[in-house]
Amino acid sequence: MTDLTDDELIELVRAELGAVDPVPATLEQVEEAERVLGFRIPPLLRRLYLEVANGWLAKKSGGVIGVPGGHRVADVFDITEMYRDGAEPTGTVPPGVVVIYDWGCAILSLVDFRDPAGPMWAIDNGRYFRDDMDVKEWLHRAVAGTLAMPSPDGRPDVVDIPQD
């Protein structure tokens, strides 16, 4: 758990991006994403999109996939594209759990938009599990350079996603 305020964390993300000169999302872009997703973006993440950057890729923190019209991260244009395509097509991941980061190698970090705190989840090679932090802690670890790739190893709550 981080003791940082939302304002302090937003300033850390802004400092992390530094010379990148990020472009924030417009309110219309955020509202369009929320309409497509059918859920409001958790408040801290929403503020980051609106006040700092519409998706970003940074040296220490990797990146966060933006809303429509934002910075492309890896092969993903925006969170609504990932949501429409489905992080996985079987229905194991419930509606409202949205991919915000692609680690590569079939590993994804997701935020539960159904909860304003934004609990984090992960998918690792067809295994879906809770990542034991919320989006605020995830972002703090990302900008601090201490965020580790999620792993299902030893987790009792892992749900195997049916394969085709």
Answer whether residue 87 shows pLDDT above 70.
no
Does residue 144 have a pLDDT over 60?
yes
Average pLDDT over residues 82-111: 82
pLDDT grade for 89, boundaries at 50, 70 and 90? low
pLDDT value, residue 68: 93
- 150 inside domain: no
What are the two backbone dihedrals, phi and then psi, of residue 20, each rounded to the nearest 5 degrees? -65, -25
CATH number of the CATH domain containing 109: 3.40.1580.10
In a domain, 42, yes or no: yes
- What amino acid is encoded at 53 in this protein? A
Q: What pLDDT, on a 0 to 100 scale, did the predictor assign at position 70?
A: 84
pLDDT at residue number 143: 87
Number of structural domains found in the chain: 1
Measured between alpha carbons, how far is 29 from 69 in angstroms, rounded to an integer?
7
pLDDT tens, 150-161?
A: 999 988 889 888
Confidence bin at 83 (pLDDT 50/70/90): confident
Alpha-carbon distance of 126 to 83, in angstroms, equals 16
Q: What is the pLDDT of residues 38-55, one digit of tens each?
A: 999 999 999 999 999 998
> Residue 110: which H helix or E strand, with range?
strand 107-112
- The answer as to whether 162 is a domain residue is no
In a domain, 90, yes or no: yes
Residue 158 maps to a domain: no
In a domain, 102, yes or no: yes
Answer yes or no: is 91 within a domain.
Answer: yes
Q: Report if residue 155 sits inside a domain.
A: no
Residue 81 has pLDDT above 90, yes or no: no
Tokens of 28: 């219309």
Residue 71 CB partners (closer than 8 Å, separation 6+): 22, 23, 53, 54, 55, 56, 57, 63
Name which residue leads in pLDDT, 18 or 38. 38
Single-letter amino acid, residue 122: A
**Structural tokens at position 158:** 């892992």
Task: Give the Å distances, CA to CA, from 37 to 56, 92, 111.
Answer: 20, 17, 12
Q: Please tell me the pTM assigned to this model.
A: 0.90
Backbone angles phi, psi at 117, to 5 degrees: -75, -20
Position 11 scores a pLDDT of 94
Query: What range does the domain containing 71 cover?
Result: 6-145
